[in-house]
Amino acid sequence: MKPFFPKHLCSSLAILVALLVGCQSRDPKVLKRTQFLMGTLVEITLVAHDNKTTAHAIKGAFQEIQRIEKLMSRRLEGSEVWQVNQAAGKSRVVVSSELISVIQAALEVSRLSDGAFDPTVGSLLSLWDRCRKEDRIPSGEEVVASLRLVGYRDLVLDEEKRTLLLRKAGMELTLGGIAKGYAVDRAFRFLRDLGFRDLIVNAGGDLRSGGTKFGTPWVVGIQDPRDGSKLLATISAKDCAVATSGDYERYFMKDGVRYHHILDPSTGFPARRSRSATVLSDELILADALATATFVLGPERGMALIDKRPGTEALIVDSQGKVALSSGMGERIRFQ
C-alpha cells in the first residue's frame, strides 16, 4: 500500500515517460506542466496550442486532483477518510457517493486478490512509519497487534445510506493504493471533456495516456528495479492506463535488508515475492490497485489475478529478477 518512507522524488517514480521523436510542429506543440500533489510530482503533457485556454485547462486538472486528495487522504484532518478513521469502532459515517465508488473498486480488488490488496492496512502503515522514524524494525508483537486491526471484511459499506464503518476501534482506512489512480482518471476525463485528445496525466509514474504525439504512439518506460538509471523495457501506450508498484520506490535499509513500503496484509511485513509489478488497464483506478495486489502475490498468483480481468495486462519482476508477462503483453513491449 502507499505511501510512506519518503525518498528523493526522482527515484520514487515507478515509471519514466519517454516521448518518441515525432514530426516537428510549431502549432500545435507539446506542453508540459508539473505540480506536487498527493505526495508526488504530477506532470500533465498536452499536445495543444500554447494559449490561455490550455493553461486554464491544466490548472483545472490540477485542482481536480487536489480536491480528491482533500477528500480521500487519511492524513488530512477533516477529510472523509480521516472522519471514517476517527469513528472506527464507534459509528457509521455518511460520505460522498464519490468515496463510495472508490471503496467499491477497492473492495472488488480485495476480493479478487484474497486480501493481497487491502484498504484497511492503515494501522500497519502507521506502525512501520513510526518505527522507521525511531530507526528500528517493528517487533513481532507489534506487528501481530496491528494485524488484528487489518481486514477488508471489517469495512462495512452501505451503498443505499452512503455510510462507511470500520468495525474495530483503532482500524485505519487508507486509499494510498487506489486514490491516486482515481485522481488521475478524473483529471484525464476533465481534460478530455474540454476537447483535448492527445495527452498524458502522470502522477509519480502512474499514468493515463490518450491519443498520440503527432500521430506517433506515446512510449512508457519501465524502470529497472535495481538500476534507476536504466529502463527494463518500453511499452507502446495509446489510450491506456499504466501503474507500477516496486520495492525501489520508497524504502530504507536496515542491517543490509531492504524494507519497502508495500506491505503484505497476511504477514504485516514488506512483501518479498516481487521487485516490481506493472499493470496496464483501461482506467488507472484499477491498474493502481492491481499493481499493488500483483506485487504482493508474486508472478504465479499475480498473473492468475490478471487473467480474471479481461483487457488487463501485466509485467512482474520476481524477487530474483526474472520477468513474467501476461499473454497480451508481449505484443506491446520492447525490452532494452
pLDDT, position 164? 98
Q: pLDDT of 114-154, one tens digit each? A: 999 999 999 999 999 999 999 999 999 999 999 999 999 99
Tell me which amino acid residue 5 is: F
- Give 61's contacts (C-beta < 8 A, 6+ positions apart): 44, 187, 188, 190, 191, 201
pLDDT, position 9? 41
What is the value of pTM for the model shown?
0.90
pLDDT, position 176? 92
Closest CA to 223 of 303, 89, 315: 315
pLDDT, position 18? 41
CA–CA gap between residue 126 and residue 170 (Å, rounded): 11
Domain positions in the chain are 80-166
CA–CA gap between residue 309 and residue 201 (Å, rounded): 23
Q: Which residues of the chain have pLDDT under 70?
A: 1-26
Please answer whether residues 173 and 119 qualify as being in contact, where contact means their C-beta atoms are separated by less than 8 angstroms.
Answer: yes
Which of helix, strand or coil describes residue 242? strand
Note the CATH number of domain 80-166: 1.10.3980.10
- Give 138's contacts (C-beta < 8 A, 6+ positions apart): 127, 128, 131, 146, 268
Please answer whether residues 81 and 96 qualify as being in contact, where contact means their C-beta atoms are separated by less than 8 angstroms.
Answer: no
Please answer whether residues 61 and 192 qualify as being in contact, where contact means their C-beta atoms are separated by less than 8 angstroms.
Answer: no
CA–CA gap between residue 330 and residue 197 (Å, rounded): 27
pLDDT, position 296? 98
Helix H or strand E segment including 165: strand 163-166
pLDDT, position 39? 93
